[in-house]
Chain A
Amino acid sequence: MIEADHLSKTFTVHRKDPGLWGSVKSLFRREKVHKHAVREATFRIDEGEIVGLVGANGAGKTTLVKMLAGIIHPTRGDARVLGFRPWERDNRFRRQIALIMGQKAQLWWDLPAADSFLLLKEIYGIPEDRYRTNLDYLARVLEVTKELTIQVRRLSLGERMKMELIAALLHGPRVVYLDEPTIGLDLTAQKAIRDFILAYREQHRPAMILTSHYMEDIERLCRRLLILREGEIVYDGSLAGVVEKYADHKVVTAHLRKMNGAVTRDGLEALGQVDACDDLTIRLRVPRGKVAEAAAELLRRYPVADLAIEEVEIGTIIEKIQRAKGGAP
C-alpha cells in the first residue's frame, strides 16, 4: 500500500546575519543553506497496519508524511502509495487518502462542521446513502452528533479534533496519515481519539502512519515503529523489538521489609548498575542474561517483600535513540 524507496528531501533555506547590517547585506546577497530533512527513507506499509513514526522535533517526520501525502515533492528517491506517485496528485489517489493534522484546522471555521461535511461529500463524490451512513457512524462513535450544527470556531479543542477526524474519514480513505492527532488534548479526549482510531482500523483496515510525541499514542495504537533521527530511519521494526534491540538490560526492583542494618552498595554492583539503594528499595539495571541470577541473589541476601522485573520504558529507549548521534546508542 505504501512503499518508499530511498526517499529524500533537502530544503534550501536562507541565512541572514543578525542586526541592521545583516538586513542590509541580505538585500544584495543571501547565503543558502541546504537542510537534509529526510535521507534515503525506505520502507513498506501494508493494509491494516498502523505504523508509528517517531522522532524528535525536526527529525523529518512531518516532511516524510507530506511527501507520502503528495503535498511536497521529494528531492530524490521514489514512493508509491496505492500504486500512485503521491506528488503527481492523481485524483484517483487523492480520493483514497486522508491527512489529519492536529495542529492545523482543515474545516471552515466560520461554518458549522455539517456544512463543511456537505461540501466534502461533493468534493469526494460520496453517494448520499454512504455519506449518511458514514457521518452517522463517525458522529455517533465520536459522540459529537449534537455539535455538528455549531459553528466550528465555537467548539472545544477536543470537539474540533473529532470533527477534523470525521472530515478526513468521511470518504472512507484506504490510507490515513495522522500527524499529532492528540496534541493539546486533555487525557479523556486523547483516550477517546485513540479508542476511535483503533475501532476505525478494525472496521476499515486502512494503512495508517501516526506521528506523535505522546508515547501512549504509540504504545496503544502501533505494533510497528519507524524511528527517525536527523532525517534517517534508524529503526524499523516491532514495538517489542525496539526494547530488545536497544535495551540490553532490565530493571529489577526489590522492595524490602524493615531490617537490622543498612543496605550498602558493596556487592550489589556485582549484580548490575545500582540506580537506587536505601533501607526500603533497591533498584538495579541488570544485563538481560543475568536477570534470574540477580533476582535470586537479592532474595537470598535481603528480606524482600516484593520483587519486580521490568523492561525499560519504551519512551526512555526512544529518547535515548533520538539523542544519540552518529550510529546506534
Chain B
Amino acid sequence: MRWAVIRDLLTTEIRRRMSYRADFWLSAFSALAVRLAVVWFIVKAVFAGSGRPGIGGYDAQGMLVYYSAAILVGKLVQTTELEQGISQDIYEGALTRYLLYPVPYGVVKYVQQLGALGPAIVQLVLFGAWLPFVVGIPRGFTAAGIAMGIGAIAVANLLQFLITFPIQLIAFWADNVWSLMVMHRFASALLGGMLAPLSLFPDSAQRVLQALPFRYLFAFPVETLLGRISAAEWCAGMVVALAWCGMMALVGRAVWRSGTYQYTGVGI
C-alpha cells in the first residue's frame, strides 16, 4: 500500500476522532483520570493494610508507578472501538465498502487504529504529564529505557491488533463475538500484567508467560519504560513478540480468506 494512502487514512481517522469534542473530554476523564485515581487509592490502601514494605519486588511507590504506566501504555495498546469495529463491519455489511477498495482491509483497519491513537496521545499528554509530580520519577528511568519502551509499545500495539483481528473475524460465522472479546480482554489483562505485575506470579508461571504473547502487550513495555529490563532481555522479548506478530498475521490471513469466502454482505 502506498505511503500517501496510509498518511490519508491516518489523518482521516484522527480528524474523525477529533470531530467530537465532548467524547474526547469524557473518554479522557473516564479512561484515564478516574482509573488513575482508583489505582492510587487501592495501592495506598493495600500497602497500608498489609503493613509490608514490598510486594512482588515493588514498594508502594514502585507499584503506583507500575499501575500508572500500565494504564497509560494500555491506552496506547488497546483501542476498544476499532476492536469492535471489525465485527460490526461484518454484521452490518459495511465491510462491502472495503472489499471494493483496492487496498487490503487488515492494513486499512490497522492504520485506522493507529489514527485513533492521535486523540489518545493528546489525552496522555494532558492527563499523564502531571503523573511524575504525584507518583514521582521511577528509579532506573533512562533515555535508553524510554526509546526501548517506545519500540516495545509499538510492537505491543501491532500484536494487540493481530490477536484481535482473527477473533473479530469470527463474526463471519458467529452471530456475536462479544463474549470472545471479553475472554481475550480478561486473559490479556491478567496474563499480560495489566491487573497485577507478573512478578506476583510463581516462577514457573512466569517462565510460561514469557513464551505467551500476553506479556508483550502490557508488562513488557511497562517494565522496559521503568528500566526494569536490560538491553539483552529487551532484544529477546522483542524477538518473541515479533514472532507472535508473524504467527498471528498468518492466522489472521487464513481466517480472512476463509471468512470472506462465505461472506454474504448482509445489510446491503
A-side interface residues toward B, CB under 8 Å? 11, 62, 66, 69-73, 89, 91-92, 94-95, 97-99, 101, 103-104, 106, 108, 110-111, 115-116, 118-119, 122-125, 151, 179
Contacts and interface: CB of A to CB of B under 8 A. Distances in A.
Given A119-B8, A119-B9, A125 B2 contact: yes
Contacts of B265: 66, 71-72
Interface stretch (B93-101, B128-136, B157-165, B215-223): B93-101
B30 interface: no
28 contacts: A11-B264, A66-B96, A71-B96, A71-B99, A71-B268, A72-B263, A72-B265, A73-B261, A89-B99, A94-B102, A95-B102, A99-B100, A101-B96, A101-B268, A103-B268, A104-B94, A104-B96, A110-B20, A111-B12, A115-B15, A116-B12, A119-B8, A123-B5, A123-B8, A123-B103, A124-B101, A124-B102, A151-B19
Contacts of A179: 268
B268 A94 contact: no
Contact of A115 (B5, B12, B101): B12
B268 A91 contact: no
B100 A118 contact: no
B262 interface: yes
A69 B100 contact: yes
A93 B69 CA distance: 47
Contacts of A110: 16, 19-20
A212 B96 CA distance: 20
Interface in B231-268: 260-265, 267-268
Contacts of B12: 108, 111, 115-116, 118-119
Q: How large is the interface on B (under 10, 10 to 19, 20 to 34, 35 or more residues)?
A: 20 to 34
Contacts of B37: none
Contacts of B102: 91-92, 94-95, 123-124
A66 B268 contact: yes
A103 B266 CA distance: 12
B55 to A, nearest CB: 44
A111 B16 CA distance: 6
B258 to A, nearest CB: 11
A108 B265 CA distance: 19
Contacts of A66: 96, 265, 268
Contact of B93 (A104, A108, A119, A125): A104
A72 B264 contact: yes
B219 to A, nearest CB: 35
Contacts of B103: 123
B217 to A, nearest CB: 29
Nearest to A13: B264
Interface of B: 2, 4-5, 7-9, 12, 15-16, 19-20, 93-94, 96-97, 99-103, 260-265, 267-268
Nearest to A93: B102
Contacts of A95: 102
Which secondary structure dominates chain A's binding surface?
mixed
B59 to A, nearest CB: 46
Contact of A62 (B2, B99, B268): B268
A147 B186 CA distance: 46
- Central interface residue in A11, A72, A124, A151, by most chain B CB within 10 Å: A72
A189 B100 CA distance: 26
Contacts of B264: 11, 72
B27 to A, nearest CB: 15
A98 B12 CA distance: 22
A99 B97 CA distance: 9
Contacts of B260: 73
A235 B19 CA distance: 50
A95 B20 CA distance: 33
B15 to A, nearest CB: 6
Nearest to B9: A119
A125 B96 CA distance: 20
Contact of B267 (A89, A99, A104, A111): A104
Given A62-B268, A66-B268, A103-B268, A71 B100 contact: yes
Minimum-distance CB pairs A-B, first 8: A91-B102, A94-B102, A122-B8, A122-B5, A122-B4, A106-B97, A110-B16, A119-B8
Nearest to B5: A122
A125 B99 CA distance: 17
Contacts of B96: 66, 71, 99, 101, 104
A94 B100 contact: yes
A124 B101 CA distance: 8
A151 B16 CA distance: 10
A151 B15 CA distance: 12
Contacts of A92: 102
A86 to B, nearest CB: 10
A67 to B, nearest CB: 10
Contacts of B263: 71-72
Given A89-B99, A101-B268, A73 B8 contact: no
A139 B179 CA distance: 46
A89 B102 CA distance: 8
Contacts of A122: 2, 4-5, 7-8
Given A103-B268, A110-B16, A123 B101 contact: yes
Contact of B15 (A69, A89, A111): A111
